[in-house]
Amino acid sequence: NNIECWAEKLNYPCCKKDNCMKFYVNDDGAWGFENFRWCGILDTEYCEKKATECWAEKLGYKCCPEDICTPYHTDDNGAWGVYNDDWCGI
């Protein structure tokens, strides 16, 4: 099931599948940011499902509230923010 990258028609790449952080939405679609460049968020269905699951919980942490989106650390598990003086998954 290979989905066409709609952003390529606008001379932008599509984001990696795990990049679901929306910075902007317009008539073309949802836009993320990767490698210092805008990218099109391709699989919004996957992102909606991912938003309801908190990957950090299986590691003993909560996920960050929606307004916390600045990563302070990134590792193989994902991006980490800080909320109430504790790590949280972004």
Q: Is the pLDDT of residue 68 over 90?
A: no
pTM for the predicted model, two decimal places? 0.54
Look at 6-10, 27-31, 50-54, 74-78 and tell me which has the smallest mean pLDDT. 50-54
In the sheet that holds 37-40, the strands lie side by side as 24-26, 29-34, 37-40
Classify residue 78 as left (phi > 0), alpha (psi -120 to 50) or beta.
Answer: left
Question: Is domain 1-53 annotated with CATH 3.90.1220.10?
Answer: yes
pLDDT digits (tens, 9 = 90+) for 55-67: 899 999 999 887 8
Question: What's the CA gap between 67 and 76, in Å, rounded?
Answer: 23
Give domain 54-90's CATH number out of 3.40.50, 3.20.20, 3.90.1220, 1.10.3470.
Answer: 3.90.1220
CA atoms of 60 and 28, how far apart (whole Å): 38
**How sure is the predictor about 1, in pLDDT bands with cuts at 50, 70 and 90?**
very low
Q: How far apart are CA 41 and CA 60, in angstroms?
A: 28
- Residue 4's SS3 state is coil
